[in-house]
Structure 1
Amino acid sequence: MLQISRLALTLCIGGLTACAGVSSQSRPASTDQVDETAVNVLFARLDKDSQRFEAGLALARSGEVERAQTEIKAALDDLQANAELCGKLAGCDQARFFSAYDRLLRLDVDSPSLATDADDDIDVNAEDATVEVGEDSPVIASLPEMERTITLLNGRELADILTINDAVNAGIEKWLSQYRPNLMTTYVNYEFMRYRMWPEYHKAGLPEALLFGMLAKESNGRVHAVSRAGASGPLQFMYTTGLRFGLSAQDGFDQRFDPGMSARANAAYINEQLKVFNGNLELVIAAYNGGEGRVRRLAARGGSTSFWDPKIYSILPDETRDYVPMVLAASWLFLHPERYNLDFPKLDIRPGAIELQTPATLTELSVCFGNEGGLYDGWFRTLRNLNPALDPQKKLPSGTRLEVPMQLQMAYPGKCAGGQWANLAKNLSAATLAMHPVRQANASHAKIYTVRRGDNLASIARKNGCVKIRDIARVNNIRAPAYRIRAGQKLRIPSC
């Protein structure tokens, strides 16, 4: 891997950081007159510097190391100077300089060694550059250029991006203010099912911080989340995409709701798209949200390899432009909460299991466990996340095995196997059932309805008067909570 002069890189990084760090008060006001000639001159010099850098790489490949070093350093020095000028010039888009710098570093990845005397005492290898990525990582083995992308979420490179990128800083502010409850909820939900999800990312050589960032933005760690578009599970897979990565329906259970399997599918998707986008993590995250086809076409049309390039960024939907920096921001906060006055709760996340001694529902268990262990929001969500195939209102027979945190395993005999709180939970459950008795849908007089594009069980129930969603689902063996149906499917609609 090419190692450009440390001095040149430091100068360039420092220059770009200084430009991006200029306060809004010191930048030219938007009402200032734009000197289009001066702006165009800077952009022309930017193109020339990029060409000179690439010419230096070509010289390195041909063995002219000393001359290559001179050309590369001169190109980066000029890029630094022009970026500083751009920051002071009204109408000059600094994003073009950041995009060019990012592209040049990615070109560097595929080049032969070009070490300098300044690098002789620096050991650059995968172990130094990554955190918690094993030597047998399939990403490192198959894609050496991914080394930098992985450290993007575990090392200094992300710090550089946070310094020069207002979008990620804005994302951090959102997570620390209006979305702070969402971030904390995500953390608690994730920690209790971490033993199911993180190993899948670790096997794939991907950073845990990325998993957390995507989980925070997609579902807040709610395993049974379903979007209006039908994306389902903690990482929000559409049905067809889920099938592509091994998530199907087994015994009536939609595997998109399984935390471990969804993490495995998500890691496989990320690695697939990292190959497509040559290790560009931001474009991969954009593809996950906005569709890989769309992002590939925009990248090809704009001739750019940077998500932040205006030729890509400005054309993407608002949702995707918000999604990428929010994922990166949540990932960074997961790694460095101490830098942002953020205290994640200390949790006992050891996994455990219980075997029911008496019949109970998940809802009843959440009542009798109460705030065991000091968990402010109780245990309903955790019990559901760890046992995703179970209906929380369905009475489970004695002997049923449930995955629970270790602290609930220890608390179960005293709190939920019998006694005051178990009796309270059963009485409340009986009262709920009395208020909302199970409807006995008349399936013998059912009529047939053909599902149309855009239908869902709620809309079908409304069209048919007093019939309820659960009645239709029960008669047609459709599983909650997704209630997945397809256009053209024949449904029996029970009479009221």
Structure 2
Amino acid sequence: MPYRSALRSLRLVSWVAAIVQLAACASTNGPVPPKAPPLATVTTLYGQLDQASRSYETALQQTRAGDTQAAQKTLDDSLNQLRDAAARCGATPSCDSQRFFSVFDHLLRLKDGSFIGDQVPDEETSGPPLAPVAGQTGAGSLPEAQRSVTLLRGHQLSELIAMNGPVKAALEMWLTQWRGNLMDAYVNYQFLRQQMWPQYEGEGLPEALLFGIMAKESGGKVHAVSRSGAAGPLQFMYATGLRFGLTDQDGFDTRFDPTESARANAEYVNEQLKAFNDNLELTLAAYNGGEGRMRRLVGDNTSVSFYDPRIYAQVSQETRDYVPEVLAAAWLFLHPDSYNLRFPRVDGQQGSITLKRSASISELTVCLGSANDMQQGWFRTLRNLNPRLDPQQEQPVGAELKIPKSLEKIYAARCADGPWPILASDLHNAVVPVFPNPSPASAPDPVVRYTVRRGDTLAGIVRKHGGCTSESEVARMNNLKFNHVKAGQVLKLPSCR
């Protein structure tokens, strides 16, 4: 599906350069440039830079000695000092701010354990450890996400993310124009984590990579469908999904199942990592632009960089954007605090309810309101946790639905009885008058019929039909669930005449 270009590299600057410019502006009055400081000033700033580099070695020794708490404090103090020195460097002529950014990047990677040798920690946690859910073990037992930096074929994920122009440009987009999308994706992921992360963990892949792909592909919307027919939280095309076991189960397309989709994605990523000699960027390019095309471009030289002009210039603009945007989202998942980003704390522990009265997902959303300070309501979360259910279809008494565990008591208090479920039912069952459009007696048949062929998608059928209708209109005419069609099915389409 199309992506907005984020590669405005001539107008974008790095994190440190942005701080440098702000500091420079704050230190001058109008257009008059500041007087050149004595050489000692630059020397002092570079001395602070050297001190930060020495702190790196100190933290390394502390980690190897087993004192991880002291190492973390050393790193945090060094990063704070480095930010201050980088800001003053911007107001100092002849001071090279890029040197500060290089050390900053180096210290961040040490926080991931990328350079700790045989003392590499498996993951960096966000906040204090949380108690496991009763009866569960492993990643699924943790309601709050831990920023996993597990090994990816012998490398830390951070080592594989080059902090180049395209990635920096993507970082700025996620932190500015797409910031709301990033936050929504993070919240959605927390409630899906117990289903999706164990699939990645089982394949030995980093959680940050899963988040990066999902944030870019769907934003954590389980029922997302692109104009090209890609579907689900990780946007599988129909044929590729079939290859990895995503099939129809009693009329339900398992591309929309978070667990199955994550399993298939992890298998696909590992397959492509093997094909491209563990080159993560080429693997992501294959996921977006097609593995066949990437293998033809790369040939036998699997060590080639995705940014090599022989590759970069030959892929679509969408793929040029996609790869750094996924990596930037993964990087922010690992290092939010270092980019002035604070993800909300979300208790994503899953629970369930048995309906005490019939209700649809839409009715439950109205009834639950903004419980637990969920200002955007619970519709998306309830849909994501119950992907097989039509959100408008009432479920009978006794039906079991998955919900966040934190909502179980709220459901019992608000939605089993009382005024809120009555209001929700009244709104849901409102009758909207429908009047047929009058047409002359001699008018042609307003409907044509099309027999679905193997490989067809609803989006493709609409395009073949001349574009005079929409996917949603055709889905309504044929009572389609999730815009899914089957080979041999006869569809009614509005006449274009």
Q: TM-score by structure 2 length?
A: 0.64
Offset, 1:223: 0.2
Deviation digits for residues 149-174 of structure 1, max 9, x if unmatched? Answer: 56442x4x257x22xx1111111100
SS in structure 2 opposite 1:354?
Answer: strand
Offset, 1:346: 1.1
What is the match of residue 221 of structure 1? 220
Could you tell me whether the CA contact under 8 Å between 2:458 and 2:485 is conserved in 1? no
SS in structure 1 opposite 2:402?
Answer: strand
Identity of aligned residues (%): 50
Distance 1:207 1:387 in 2: 26
Distance 1:366 1:268 in 2: 35
Say if 2:497 is the partner of 1:469.
Answer: no
Distance 1:210 1:130 in 2: 15
Deviation digits for residues 84-128 of structure 1, max 9, x if unmatched? Answer: xxxxxxxxxxxxxxxxxxxxxxxxxxxxxxxxxxxxxx9844x62
Alpha carbons of 1:303 and 1:378: their partners in 2 closer, same or farther (altered >3 Å)?
closer
Distance 2:154 2:209 in 1: 9
Alpha carbons of 1:419 and 1:311: their partners in 2 closer, same or farther (altered >3 Å)?
same
Could you tell me whether the CA contact under 8 Å between 2:355 and 2:400 is conserved in 1? yes
Distance 1:309 1:367 in 2: 52
Distance 2:364 2:155 in 1: 42
Distance 1:423 1:411 in 2: 16
Q: Give the letter for the 1:198 counterpart.
A: W
What is the match of residue 312 of structure 1? 311
Distance 2:171 2:469 in 1: 47
Could you tell me whether the CA contact under 8 Å between 1:150 and 1:206 is conserved in 2? no
Distance 1:287 1:293 in 2: 8
SS in structure 2 opposite 1:408?
Answer: helix
What is the match of residue 128 of structure 1? 120
Q: Give the letter for the 1:412 counterpart.
A: Y
Alpha carbons of 1:150 and 1:415: their partners in 2 closer, same or farther (altered >3 Å)?
farther
Could you tell me whether the CA contact under 8 Å between 1:150 and 1:207 is conserved in 2? no
**Paired residue total:** 349
Distance 1:429 1:401 in 2: 20
Could you tell me whether the CA contact under 8 Å between 1:212 and 1:330 is conserved in 2? yes
Q: Give the letter for the 1:289 counterpart.
A: N
What is the match of residue 421 of structure 1? 420
Aligned-residue RMSD, C-alpha? 3.5
Which runs of 5 or more residues in structure 1 are unaligned? 1-19, 26-121, 133-145, 438-445
Deviation digits for residues 440-481 of structure 1, max 9, x if unmatched? Answer: xxxxxx97533476765767698799x95345433xxxx411
Could you tell me whether the CA contact under 8 Å between 2:414 and 2:421 is conserved in 1? yes
What is the match of residue 99 of structure 2? none
Deviation digits for residues 407-445 of structure 1, max 9, x if unmatched? Answer: 1112111111111211111111122x44579xxxxxxxx
SS in structure 2 opposite 1:199?
Answer: helix
Offset, 1:399: 0.7
Structure 2 counterparts to residues 176-187 of structure 1, below 5 A: 176-187=175-186
What is the match of residue 103 of structure 1? none
What is the match of residue 196 of structure 1? 195
Offset, 1:246: 0.8
Distance 1:213 1:492 in 2: 37
Distance 2:301 2:271 in 1: 22
Q: Give the letter for the 1:315 counterpart.
A: Q
SS in structure 1 opposite 2:408?
Answer: helix
Alpha carbons of 1:364 and 1:319: their partners in 2 closer, same or farther (altered >3 Å)?
same
Distance 1:181 1:211 in 2: 19
Alpha carbons of 1:399 and 1:310: their partners in 2 closer, same or farther (altered >3 Å)?
same
Q: TM-score by structure 1 length?
A: 0.64
Distance 2:449 2:382 in 1: 37
Alpha carbons of 1:492 and 1:203: their partners in 2 closer, same or farther (altered >3 Å)?
closer
Deviation digits for residues 246-302 of structure 1, max 9, x if unmatched? Answer: 100000000000001100000000001110001111110110001111111111287
Offset, 1:387: 0.3
Distance 1:237 1:350 in 2: 26
Structure with the largest fraction of helix = 1
Could you tell me whether the CA contact under 8 Å between 1:302 and 1:311 is conserved in 2? no
Q: Give the letter for the 1:469 counterpart.
A: V
What is the match of residue 58 of structure 1? none
Offset, 1:304: 4.9
Could you tell me whether the CA contact under 8 Å between 2:170 and 2:328 is conserved in 1? yes
What is the match of residue 262 of structure 1? 261
What is the match of residue 481 of structure 2? 480
SS in structure 2 opposite 1:364?
Answer: helix
Distance 1:189 1:296 in 2: 34
Could you tell me whether the CA contact under 8 Å between 2:365 and 2:379 is conserved in 1? yes
Alpha carbons of 1:22 and 1:363: their partners in 2 closer, same or farther (altered >3 Å)?
closer
SS in structure 2 opposite 1:168?
Answer: helix
Deviation digits for residues 35-82 of structure 1, max 9, x if unmatched? Answer: xxxxxxxxxxxxxxxxxxxxxxxxxxxxxxxxxxxxxxxxxxxxxxxx
SS in structure 1 opposite 2:401?
Answer: strand
Distance 1:471 1:393 in 2: 13
